[in-house]
């Protein structure tokens, strides 16, 4: 239910910052592998704040398709719009910001490759993974 960040040493033995998880239904000693920050625009507690996530204003990327390399002909209009919306959220790892690197993700059984330079994401390649066709061959 709640997580507290405490810079104090509660037991005199702990070195470094402490995260107290309260109200969780865990057995004693159950490891917690991942704690995500609270993000106000996506989560639903009206009085909560996002902590360090609020420090940076999120701005969607402009998504363009390199016409020489990419075709979305035959795609449903809703699928193209959904892909644009997903890509506009910048699906790269946060620690990577190389404008020459080609990143990739799977979307709707397609391998989508893209580059990001400043606030523009350019789709450079889309390939079908043909997983449905391969399953039918078995």
The one-character DSSP state at 133 is: H
DSSP bridge pairs for 22: 2
Q: CA 72 to CA 87: how far, in whole Å? A: 15
| Right CATH for 62-137 from 3.40.1010.10, 3.30.70.100, 3.30.2310.20, 3.30.450.40 | 3.30.2310.20
Instruction: Supply the pLDDT for residue 34.
Output: 76
- Name the E strands within the chain: 2-6, 18-22, 62-65, 103-107, 110-117, 120-128
At 134 the three-state DSSP class reads: helix
What pLDDT does residue 138 have? 45
pLDDT of 37 reads 73
Q: Look at residue 67 in the predicted model and tell me its pLDDT.
A: 74
Q: What is the C-alpha to C-alpha distance for residues 95 and 103, in angstroms, rounded to an integer? A: 13
Token pair 């719009």 is at which residue? 81
The enclosing H or E element of 80 equals helix 77-88
Ranges under pLDDT 70 in the chain: 1-18, 23, 25, 38, 40-41, 43-45, 48-56, 68-69, 131-138
Please report, for residues 6, 27, 47, 79, 104, the alpha-carbon distance to residue 63 in angstroms, rounded to integers and kept in the order given.
41, 46, 33, 14, 14
Closest C-alpha among 96, 130, 134 to residue 116: 96
Per-residue confidence (pLDDT) for residue 132, from 0 to 100: 58
Token couple for 93: 């790892």
- Domains of the chain: which residue ranges? 1-57, 62-137
Q: Can you give the pLDDT at residue 123?
A: 94
Hey, which bits of 39-102 come out as E strands? 62-65
| Residue 95 to residue 88: CA distance in whole angstroms | 17
């Amino acid at each position: 239910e709640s997580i507290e960040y405490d810079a104090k040493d509660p037991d005199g033995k702990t070195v470094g910052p402490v995260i107290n998880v309260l109200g969780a239904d865990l057995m004693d000693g159950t490891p917690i592998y991942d704690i995500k920050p609270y993000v106000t625009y996506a989560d639903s507690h009206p009085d909560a704040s996002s902590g360090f996530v609020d420090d940076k204003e999120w701005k969607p990327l402009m998504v363009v398709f390199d016409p020489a390399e990419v075709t979305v002909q035959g795609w449903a209009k809703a699928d193209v719009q959904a892909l644009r919306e997903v890509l506009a959220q910048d699906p790269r790892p946060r620690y990577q910001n190389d404008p020459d690197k080609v990143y990739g993700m799977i979307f709707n059984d397609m391998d989508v490759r893209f580059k990001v330079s400043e606030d523009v994401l350019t789709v450079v390649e889309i390939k079908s993974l043909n997983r449905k066709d391969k399953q039918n061959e078995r």
